[in-house]
Structure 1
Amino acid sequence: MSGRSSFAAHTYRVDAVVLRTHKLGEADRIITLLSSERGQIRAVAKGVRRTSSKFGGRLEPFMVSDLQLVSGRTLDIISQAVTKSPYGQSIAAHYDRYTVATAMAETAEKLTDADAESAGAQYRLLVGALGALARGEHAAELILDSYLLRALATAGWAASFDACARCGTEGPHSAFSAALGGAVCHDCRPPGSPSPAVQTMSLLAALLSGNWSVADNSEPAHRREAAGLVASFVQWHLERNVRSLRLVERN
């Protein structure tokens, strides 16, 4: 009885999305998860690379599952997995969706690596974005940029695309500074700041607020310009590159 009680005390269940995986030994994998209750988790899935594995494809990237885990000293162990949302299958079938999902997962991993407080909100945001991506609700690159802006806002770095990010003067303004937090007025503009088109700033504001009628009707040139500004904003606040962004195709 004591052995069973000890096992039960170290067992827990979570809803989690798979961020990434890598091989361990001949048949196992280390799975990096983002859970709704416990934040980021690194766990071992034993035997998952064997064709006879009980897990099947339930622990592939971007899958959302109900998991049972056993706490370990360094890595937890996944003992059960029940699929809740098989987003990974639809995403993996389209290269543009796959690269976008990879960039979102890498960003989520970086944001929740040290910030446990916002992990629950980051989990819900990521799962929502993956769902929209799997269903093809909007252009993949727009879903990505909207997710990136919202994820940073959830982490405490909300960009401003109307009022000046430094002095608060109402816009619209014609300059952008990642370091200062978004749109900046003429007086606050640092030397060398880019001057995006008015339509690009409107697109960025729409992506942050979820105004998809504006975002879906935006022009390709403004989408490309917005993507560059989002990437610089992400790099500045994370203080490191999101390497997967280089793989994302921009139309």
Structure 2
Amino acid sequence: MLRRCEEAYVLGTRPLGEADLLVSFLTSEAGKVRAVARSAKKSRRRFGAALEPLTRVRASWTETEGRDLGRLDSCDILTSYVEAQRELPLFYFFAYASEVADLFAREQEPDPRFFRLFAAVLDAAAGGLPVTAARRYLDLWTLRLQGLLPDLSSCSSCGVDPAAERGAGAGECVVDLSEGALLCRECAGLAGAAGVERVRLAPGALRAARFGMRRGPAEAAVLSGPLEGLDSLSRRAMLRFTERPLRTLRFLAEGA
């Protein structure tokens, strides 16, 4: 048996048998972990509010060789976002963030960068960052860390920076997800219909994505507001990985 203790975010729980709960949580050094909280369904005295979704906790669990599920021994609350989630838009965003982490974090695979991203975005959202900006920041950086977001610095064909162009239509570009490439307006036209998964980005969307991703989420308010093509880019890129739309997206739209 291996006993572990780490900071973690509770991603969710579901009933397991008559008395237990199966808990999923995100850690820095163990990736996504699933563990059984004995008697947690029957009585809240042992874990209390520590198993509320997206509570930051210090989790202790025991792993047994040959078993997929660990045994959750204790959970101590470090940060609770219960008060922040009393606002409906934040409640829906936190549910969305939990689903993103559950889908993209890998079980038993350390990913400290994603853990830090997740922590920073939740803190920024709870601290007043507009929900739209928080969601876009989480989307873009999740895709980048997973290797699913093309390089947005210049056209992959000619090397021109679309944002530096002048004249009518300057700054417009296309992201070809099937090729993993950013194309300027001219190269996108020359490439014709090649690549079936193309997303057009308006000039403001490309600049905002670059600017926002160069800063921490607390300074990413530039990602709020109408940025044509940016949401389509992130959702279609995610769909290539998840193969289904995220369930919480429609609730997020309703709460916006």
5+ residue gaps in structure 1? 1-8
User: Match of 2:85?
Assistant: 92
Aligned residue runs from structure 1 range 47-62, under 5 A: 47-62=39-54
Query: Offset at 1:195?
Result: 3.4
One of 226, 233, 247 as aligned partner of 2:230: 226
Query: 8 Å contact 1:145–1:207 — kept in the other structure?
Result: no
1:218–1:41 CA distance, 2 compared to 1 (3 A): closer
Equivalent-residue separation in structure 2 for 1:208 and 1:239 (angstroms): 25
The one-letter code matched in structure 2 to 1:78 is: L
Q: Which residue of 2 aligns with 1:4?
A: none
Q: CA deviation at 1:104?
A: 1.9
Alpha-carbon separation, structure 2, partners of 1:211 and 1:141 = 15
Name the counterpart of 1:184: 183
Q: Does 1:33 align with 2:25?
A: yes
Q: Which residue of structure 1 lines up, in the alignment, with residue 167 of structure 2?
A: none
* Larger displacement relative to structure 2 (198-207 or 163-172): 163-172
**Contact in 1 for aligned 2:6/2:58 (Cα 8 Å):** yes
The one of 247, 252, 255 equivalent to 1:248 is: 252
Q: Are 1:111 and 2:118 an aligned pair?
A: no
Quick check: 1:46 aligned with 2:38?
Answer: yes
**1:25-83, Cα deviation, whole Å (9 max, x unpaired):** 23321111111111111011122234542211111111111111122423111111111
Measure, in 1, the Cα distance between the counterparts of 2:3 and 2:101.
25
Amino acid at match of 1:71: E
Alignment of 1:164-183 (within 5 A): 164-172=155-163, 173-177=171-175, 178-181=177-180, 183=182
Structure 1 counterpart of 2:74, from 69, 77, 80: 80
User: Compared with structure 1, are the counterparts of its residues 134 and 219 closer, same or farther at alpha carbon in structure 2 (3 Å cutoff)?
Assistant: closer
What is the CA–CA distance in structure 1 between the aligned matches of 2:133 and 2:200, rounded to whole Å?
Answer: 21
| Ranges in structure 2 where 5+ consecutive residues have no aligned partner | 164-170
Distance 1:51 1:212, change over 3 A: closer
Q: Name the counterpart of 2:209.
A: 204
Judged with a 3 Å threshold, the aligned counterparts in structure 2 of structure 1 residues 167 and 181 are, in CA distance, closer, same or farther, namely farther
Alpha carbons of structure 1 residues 90 and 159: separation in structure 2 relative to 1, 3 Å: farther
Contact in 2 for aligned 1:69/1:76 (Cα 8 Å): yes
Q: TM-score, normalised by structure 2?
A: 0.80
Deviates more, 1:162-171 or 1:197-206: 162-171
Q: Tell me the secondary structure at the aligned position of residue 162 of structure 2.
A: coil
Structure 2 residue 21 is the aligned partner of structure 1 residue 21: no
Determine what percentage of the aligned residue pairs are the same residue: 21
Over the residues paired in the alignment, what is the CA RMSD in angstroms? 2.7
Contact 2:212–2:223 (CA under 8 A) maintained in structure 1: no
Matched to 2:109, the amino acid is A
Who is 1:6 aligned against? Answer: none
1:101 aligns with 2:106: no
State the one-letter code of the partner of 1:161: L
**What is the match of residue 60 of structure 2?**
68
- CA distance in 2 between counterparts of 1:238 and 1:157 reads 12
- Equivalents in 2 of 1:213, 1:104: separation in Å? 16
